């Protein structure tokens, strides 16, 4: 059984836990440790801390234990736990928040999960849909598991799942915007989603006029001005004290 040393928990630890709580939009004290989340979790058998335990670590302020856990990286984000929780604790969101925080600190307890995640999201951002051959090749190369699943390739090719043709959607920029919004902005230097991206991909490719971006985080600083040009000009004149033409 793991021994927990609560005497070392600092105010800074509690502040960092509060950051995760805010990021996930949950109230950790709502959890009364019933374990219903864990009972329904399809991945619990592979986790070093089951979902209930991860929440408990956070409740106790043991942030470093939570950030170094494999659990959030193994989590499939199926949301069964969130649906089952009688207290309405969105554990799936907690998993993502812990994972994001760990990644920002350079922690990735399950390296392959992080590589796969980046490769998958990058695939969607680049093409609007997943191209299995590119995904597999990128993952195998970056993870060092060069021949993983290569024996499946002939069967996948026979079923049309992989091939020389790259599949993409018509409005790739729209899909990319959706992905970025869902992820809450990707870190510019960690993002490998777009081969052309050098930190200012959105300025070049997202086709959103007048938007201002923080190129280090890929987040919108000022929403785009979607008004017709005439209305914009009129407003500019008013702000300058001029008259509407």
Stretch that binds ligand SF4, among 34-42, 62-70, 202-210, 221-229 (CB under 6 A): 34-42
Q: Which is nearer to ligand SF4, 10 or 22 (CB)?
A: 22
Whole-number minimum distance, CB 177 to ligand SF4, in Å?
Answer: 25
Of 168, 183, 244, give the one whose Cα is nearest residue 218: 183
Q: Pick the binder of ligand SF4 from 59, 87, 140, 205 (CB under 6 A).
A: 87
Apex CA 132: angle with CA 127 and CA 133, to 5°? 100
In the three-class reduction of DSSP (H, G, I as helix; E, B as strand; rest coil), residue 153 is classed as helix
Q: Minimum Å distance from CB 57 to ligand SF4?
A: 12
Residue window 50-79: x/- pattern of binding to ligand SF4, with contact defined by CB under 6 A:
-xx--x-------------------xxxxx
**140, 147 contact by CB (below 8 A):** yes
Return d(Cα 34, Cα 81) in angstroms, integer: 12
24: exposed, middle or buried (Cβ count in 10 Å: 0-12, 13-18, 19+): buried
Report the residue from 53, 92, 123, 126 that binds ligand SF4 according to the rule CB under 6 A. Answer: 92
Number of chain positions touching ligand SF4 (CB under 6 A): 28
224: phi > 0 → left, psi -120 to 50 → alpha, else beta; which? Answer: beta
Q: Could you tell me the CA-to-CA distances from 52 to 8, 41, 48, 56, 158 in Å, in that order?
A: 22, 10, 11, 6, 43
Q: Considering only 5-13, 28-36, 128-136, 174-182, which stretch makes contact with ligand SF4 by CB under 6 A?
A: 28-36
- Nearest-CA neighbor of 69 among 16, 13, 107? 107
Q: Does 43 bind ligand SF4 (CB under 6 A)?
A: yes
Exactly one of 17, 20, 31, 197 binds ligand SF4 (CB under 6 A); that residue is: 31
Using rule CB under 6 A, residue 110 touches ligand SF4: no
Residues that bind ligand SF4 (CB under 6 A): 31-37, 40-43, 51-52, 55, 75-81, 84-85, 87, 89, 91-92, 95
């Amino acid at each position: 059984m793991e021994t927990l040393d609560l005497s070392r928990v600092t105010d800074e630890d509690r502040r960092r836990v509060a950051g995760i709580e805010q990021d996930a939009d949950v109230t950790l004290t709502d959890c009364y440790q019933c374990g219903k989340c864990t009972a329904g979790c399809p991945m619990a058998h592979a986790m070093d801390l089951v979902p209930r335990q991860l929440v408990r670590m956070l409740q106790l302020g043991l942030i470093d234990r939570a950030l170094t856990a494999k659990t959030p990286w193994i989590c499939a984000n199926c949301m069964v736990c969130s649906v089952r929780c009688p207290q309405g604790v969105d554990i799936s969101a907690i998993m993502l928040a812990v994972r994001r925080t760990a990644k920002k600190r350079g922690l990735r307890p399950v390296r392959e999960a992080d590589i796969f995640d980046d490769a998958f999201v990058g695939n969607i951002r680049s093409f609007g849909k997943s191209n299995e051959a590119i995904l597999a090749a990128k993952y195998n190369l970056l993870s060092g598991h060069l021949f993983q699943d290569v024996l499946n390739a002939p069967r996948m090719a026979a079923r049309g799942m992989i091939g020389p043709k790259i599949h993409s959607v018509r409005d790739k920029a729209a899909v990319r915007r959706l992905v970025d919004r869902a992820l809450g902005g990707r870190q510019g230097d960690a993002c490998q989603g777009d081969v052309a991206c050098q930190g200012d991909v959105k300025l070049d490719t997202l086709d959103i006029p007048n938007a201002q971006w923080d190129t280090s985080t890929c987040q919108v600083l000022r929403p785009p001005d979607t008004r017709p040009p005439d209305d914009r000009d009129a407003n500019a004149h008013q702000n300058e004290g001029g008259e509407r033409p």
